[in-house]
Chain A
């Protein structure tokens, strides 16, 4: 048990360090670097497509990491840096698509399906309750049996 806990602790300790940012890319300004990391986690690597540029080892991801740090260092806001890349690569570069008419299905579709399912369950339960009549009340012999059983128990 103790060994397991130790393993878990080690996994937790090292899990955070699994990223692709190379030491040479980092900014000396810790606040800027933190902003750069936060932005790069939300940007798609266009070579590997399902990794962020923060995680990816692709050369293009490296270039983009360096580029966005340069822009931050030059005084761009987070929004400006994101816009810079969206203008070049399109919204596909954003791992979290913005909420707008074209993405409504993407954002709200799952909830619509969930609501449909919930409606189905409600209708089903309602119908079942209507179909099965309430059980008939106990007759005299049954009532006596219940009384006897309860007495035995007590």
Chain B
């Protein structure tokens, strides 16, 4: 009985260490906020495109697309930009951009200077569409399937690793299915 009692702290330590170990090495990001919109239909939106034509969620239907929220004032978006270019040019993924709380002229300058990975760009100057998508900053990216349902949400700049190991396999799967 006594020996059992004395080994209790050790047992407790082992349990805690295992718990922390799993939490540390599982690769789970405790800062990531899971979006309740995953597996929901894309929020409907009515934006003016950078091309001055109307841009709504109907433009996304029938194909597997990425919707990428970005802004010219956002430094991580610049860092993410080459990755999106590669996705658009080499993998032929249709990417639609939504310029979050950005001025038209600044958005124009941004894509003119760096090149545009986007099929089309919607201007969300008030950030209301951003709220409807539940974004907390830029850049954030959504994967949307052919039926117009959100299938994945990345709440941070995409990384090459994510693209290779998660995004591209998912897109391939959704395109097939």
Q: Give the complex CA separation of A60 and B36 in angstroms.
A: 18
Which of A47, A67, A90 meets B137, CB within 8 Å?
Answer: A47
- Complex Cα distance, B133 from A59, in Å, reads 16
Partner of A88, one of B34, B101, B134, B137: B134
Chain A residues near B132 (CB-CB < 8 A): 88
Cβ-defined contact, B137 with A92, below 8 A: no
In the bound complex, residues from chain B placing their C-beta under 8 Å from that of A60 are 127, 136-137
- How close is B33's CB to chain A, nearest CB, in angstroms? 5
Return A13 CB to nearest CB of chain B, in Å: 35
CB contacts under 8 Å to A, within B120-177, are: 126-128, 131-134, 136-137
- Is A89 an interface position by the 8 A CB rule? yes
Q: Answer yes or no: B83 CB below 8 A from chain A CBs.
A: no
Give the distance to chain B from A120, nearest Cβ to Cβ, in Å. Answer: 12
Q: Are B134 and A89 in contact (CB under 8 A)?
A: yes
> Do A92 and B131 have beta carbons less than 8 Å apart?
no
- A64-B34 contact, Cβ under 8 Å, with A47-B136, A59-B101: no
CB of A115 closer than 8 Å to a CB of B:
no
Query: Is the Cβ of A88 less than 8 Å from the Cβ of B36?
Result: yes
Residues of chain B within 8 A (CB-CB) of A91 are 36
Min CB gap A88→B, angstroms = 4
B35 contacts chain A at the CB level, 8 A cutoff: yes
Within 8 Å of chain B (Cβ to Cβ): is A86?
A: yes
Nearest A residue to B33 via CB reads A92
Distance of A119 from chain B, by nearest CB (Å): 15
Q: Which residues of A contact B (CB under 8 A)?
A: 46-47, 59-60, 63-64, 67, 86-92
**Nearest 4 CB-CB pairs, A to B?**
A88-B134, A46-B136, A90-B36, A89-B134
Query: Can you name 6 A-B pairs with beta carbons within 8 Å?
Result: A46-B33, A60-B127, A60-B137, A88-B133, A89-B33, A92-B33
